[in-house]
Chains A and B, each alone.
Chain A
Amino acid sequence: MSRASGPSTTRRSPTLVIGCVLAGAIVAVAIVSLFWMPFPQDDTSGGRLAPPALPHLLGTDKLGRDLLTQLMIGARIALTAGIGSVALGGVLGVTAGLLAGFATRWLDDTISALLDILIAFPTLLLAMLVVAAREASLGSAILAIGLAMSAIVARLTRVLVKRVLAEDFITASRTSGTSWPRVVIEHVLPNIWPTLLVNLALQLGLAVLAEASLSYLGLGAPPPNASWGRMLQEAQATVLTAPLGAVAPGVVLVVLVVGVNLLADGLRDVADPTRRRRR
């Protein structure tokens, strides 16, 4: 009879806990990097490709920069890229999706056609166009990833809105005299946000990967900013002699993406009142 309580929810969703721990670790590292780093970003005093040993805990890269420092900066960039793209893609996508969901047949068809074109457009090509128009920077990467993401989010939002609008409780709400804006705030958004949130969390993982790919190809944040993707690319040539240079960014990338995905799965369980049914 009582409400679902916080602790029991987390106990029943171990994926949420593990996801929080993994993603939280990376977030913590990124925050720490704002205040303290083992070495300055462009300090090359450690010599090239030094093996892991104090004071260079993870060794150095081929230019003699401290690997741990690079990883910490990379965490900041990966998170900025992920959160930035999700914010951009989320705002654009949800707005367009709501518009299409409520629109008349004609407008809906037009928006849907545009979304289909945008989805069919490869993210990489989009990124190259953005970079060509602006320059290779973190902002360009976020713009390209966010735009590509917005189409996917918009299409999902549109379907969710349509489904909710078909429910009788929407008609009941209208016959109660509720205005359309209030119907959206009271019924439509609460019923679509759990699914949207889960999807946005998954998109965040994909955005982090996309940023790494763009950086790997030189379309992301320019040097000397250490992005995990570019670290991987730079370590490629020396992967046999100094494997840690490639393995370390790879591992943190996997930790962050897996953590975010688990977080998304866990959110799904927590967000739905019908899933927290008690015995």
Chain B
Amino acid sequence: MTSAILEARGAGFAYRRAAPVLADVSIEVTPGRGVALVGESGAGKTTLLRLLLGLMRPTSGRILFDGAELSPRDRVQMRAFRRSVQTVFQDPYSSLDPRQRVGRIVAEPLRSLGLPAPASRRMDVAEMVAEALRAVGLPPDAAHRYPHEFSGGQRQRVAIARAIVCEPRVLLADEPVSALDVSTRVRIVDLLAELRETRGLTVVMVSHDLAVVATLCQHTAVLERGRIVEQGDTAAVLGSPRHPYTRRLIDSVPRLPPRASQARS
């Protein structure tokens, strides 16, 4: 078995003098195996994501990156970590700075990480941005426009372009499609699936949308009130759930009426 890129080992988080938001969560992100964190509001999904992003430190347990404990003070490690792990947010309206052109937004990880290495740098940044925009299916001239000129789905593509421009290994996505219309949602899910194949990206996704999870992630962990109640292969967890909460979650998903042909047979 390949070693984990990112791992939570018995991680927990609690605010001072309050019940823990997250307790004893252990989860592994191994290359090529997408992970879904499924749960409803208050389950601690977002807290777990922020721990995995190094934006908050666990109050118990550890977060490991390439086998070493993630420490915000270790600049060398943090730089490698930021380069390897990028994010996409839920709300494409809040996640892009309205006062920057798309080209500048997409180039931000390159600027901050000092990529690509000096020599003939300026040209390379523009090229890498253009390549990232092309990869997410946006026209090259998108770089000169402002976020408000784009629809929600296109903005989400811009956010994805920003996340992949420095060629990370892991993409942490927080409900990446739940703010989008159904047809747009399908297109973004398809895009993420394509990037997973073509770029070897491992997608870690926080979601309450089981259909999206089933499409994109091989591994699913179900969170309820700050604890993982069940995790394993997505097919196993969603196909034959063992925990009653998982079962209730699956039964609650509104389904389309069966196709006429299927109904007849």
Please report A residues at the B interface, Cβ cutoff 8 Å. Answer: 1, 3, 167-169, 171-179, 182, 186-187, 190-191, 273-274, 277
Contact = CB atoms under 8 A, between A and B. Distances in A.
Looking at chain A's contact residues, the main secondary structure is helix
Given A168-B91, A191-B97, A273-B98, A177 B159 contact: no
B109 interface: yes
A184 to B, nearest CB: 13
B55 interface: yes
A177 B112 contact: yes
B87 A175 contact: yes
A167 B94 contact: yes
Given A1-B141, A273-B99, A176 B86 contact: yes
Interface stretch (B37-45, B120-128, B142-150): B142-150
Contact of B148 (A175, A176, A273): A273
A172 B105 CA distance: 10
A9 to B, nearest CB: 15
B162 A172 contact: yes
Nearest to B88: A172
A173 B94 CA distance: 12
Contacts of A187: 97, 100
Contacts of A191: 97-99
A171 B85 CA distance: 13
Contacts of B95: 167-169, 172
B112 A172 contact: no
Given A172-B89, A175-B82, A175-B86, 16 more contacts: A1-B141, A168-B90, A169-B95, A171-B55, A171-B87, A172-B108, A173-B97, A173-B108, A175-B87, A177-B79, A177-B112, A179-B112, A182-B112, A190-B97, A191-B99, A273-B148
Contacts of A277: 148-149
Contact of A177 (B113, B144, B145): B113
B96 interface: yes
A190 B104 CA distance: 13
15 contacts: A168-B89, A168-B95, A169-B97, A171-B55, A171-B87, A171-B89, A172-B162, A173-B97, A175-B55, A177-B79, A177-B113, A186-B108, A187-B100, A190-B100, A273-B98
Contact of B113 (A3, A172, A176): A176
B78 interface: yes
B82 A177 contact: yes
B83 interface: yes
Given A1-B145, A168-B94, A169-B97, A174 B55 contact: yes
A186 B86 CA distance: 19
B159 A172 contact: yes
Contacts of A167: 94-95, 97
Nearest to A177: B82
A175 B81 CA distance: 9
Contacts of A175: 53-55, 82, 85-87
A190 B87 CA distance: 23
A276 to B, nearest CB: 9
A176 B94 contact: no
Nearest to B114: A177
Nearest to B53: A175
A187 B53 CA distance: 20
B91 to A, nearest CB: 6
Contacts of A1: 141, 145
A274 B78 CA distance: 35
B98 A176 contact: no
A178 B55 contact: no
A190 B98 CA distance: 10
Contacts of A178: 108, 111-112
A190 B141 CA distance: 23
Lowest 9 A-B CB distances belong to which pairs?
A: A177-B82, A168-B95, A176-B109, A178-B112, A168-B94, A177-B112, A168-B89, A169-B97, A190-B99
A274 B148 contact: yes
Tell which of A167, A172, A178, A273 has the most Cβ of chain B within 10 Å: A172
A187 B105 CA distance: 10
Nearest to A271: B99
Nearest to B174: A168
Nearest to B97: A169
B138 to A, nearest CB: 13
Contacts of B53: 175
A148 to B, nearest CB: 30
Nearest to B90: A168
B82 A176 contact: yes
B148 A172 contact: no
Given A172-B87, A175-B82, A274 B108 contact: no
B207 to A, nearest CB: 16
Contacts of A177: 78-79, 82-83, 109, 112-113
Tell which of A176, A187, A274 has the most Cβ of chain B within 10 Å: A176
